[in-house]
Amino acid sequence: MMSLKLYGYWRSSATYRVRIALNLKGLEYEYVPVHLVKDGGEQHQTAYDSLNPSHLVPTFVDDDEDIILNQSLSIIEFLDERYPDPYSLIPAHAVERARVRSLAQDIACDIQPLANLRVLQSLSQQYDLSSEQTNDWCKHWIEKGFDGIERRLQTQAGRFCFDFDVTMADVCLVPQVYNAKRFGVDMTRYPLISRIYENCQALEAFQQAEPANQPDAQ
Ligand SMILES: N[C@@H](CCC(=O)N[C@@H](CS)C(=O)NCC(=O)O)C(=O)O
């Protein structure tokens, strides 16, 4: 029996980040789908509540070690420290580490939360926004975030966000681009982000983590 489990949803960008990291580390894991929409959302039901009282995916579980973790960035950092091979997703040098973390947070803290399902549900149910308006809302915040990231990448990007190594920043960027496309963001505005996205997509670890390749994909 596999001891590593990932509770997630195919289209969740936070889950997608952890899938990429697990694949890059070459770790086998059981993927446990949590349907975020069906029956009011399985993330709110008792079975999942005991694992993650925040009612968000992903949740990472290691049964052998009795570890239950939420927050994709914390899970990725944990995996990076626990399984340093075949290479680190967070560099050793203090300044580089901080730069990788800040780019990851540009996405995970400043973009994704604004387009989260519960935010969109609140905009439509409490504030009566149409689906076209909530779509525009998501596009607006993704574009604001990408405008800054594209400019920052001009000073540092190589094959990936930081030169020639895949880092936690790329692991966050790719799912956010997937999400941006879903909301109709014009990616030709972001040539560097697009180039890095394509370079990552050439790697098997990224391909296998794609939403369409998950067992719960619809
Ligand atoms: N900061 C969290 C974000 C988690 C999160 O927002 N997950 C979304 C899917 S990407 C979710 O579970 N949404 C369910 C809901 O809004 O009800 C992380 O990085 O893990």
Pocket residue to mutate for ligand 1, from 114, 116, 172, 214, most atoms within 8 A of Cβ? 116
- Label residues 2-23 b or e (16+ Cβ within 10 Å = b): eebbbbbbbbbbbbbbbbbbbb
Whether 200 has a pLDDT exceeding 70, the answer reads yes
Peptide bond into 86 cis (omega under 30): yes
Residue 2 pLDDT greater than 80, yes or no: no
Q: What is the mean pLDDT of residues 91-118?
A: 96
pLDDT recorded at residue 213: 97
For atom 10 of ligand 1, the residue with the nearest CA is: 12
pLDDT at residue 40, rounded to an integer: 93
203 Cα: distance to centroid of ligand 1 (angstroms): 25
Specify the pTM.
0.97
In short, whether 176's Cβ falls inside 6 Å of ligand 1 is: no
pLDDT in tens, 17-37: 999 999 999 999 999 999 999
Per-residue model confidence (pLDDT) at position 1 = 58
Helix residue ranges per DSSP H, the chain: 13-24, 46-49, 72-82, 94-108, 117-125, 131-153, 168-182, 191-201, 204-209
Is the Cβ atom of 179 under 6 angstroms away from ligand 1?
no
- 33-92 confidence digits (pLDDT tens): 999 999 999 999 999 999 999 999 999 999 888 999 999 999 999 999 999 989 899 999
CA gap 10, 215 in Å, rounded: 8
The answer, yes or no, to whether any atom of ligand 1 lies below 6 A from the CB of 24, is no
Ligand 1, residue 56: give the atom nearest the CA.
12
Question: What integer is the mean pLDDT of 82-108?
Answer: 95
* 36 close to ligand 1 (CB < 6 Angstrom): yes
| Atom nearest to 9 CA in ligand 1 | 9
Asked if pLDDT for residue 116 goes beyond 70, the answer is: yes
pLDDT, tens digit, 9 for 90 and up, residues 125-163: 999 999 999 999 999 999 999 999 999 999 988 999 998
Residue ranges and CATH numbers for the domains of the chain are: 4-87 (3.40.30.10), 94-205 (1.20.1050.10)
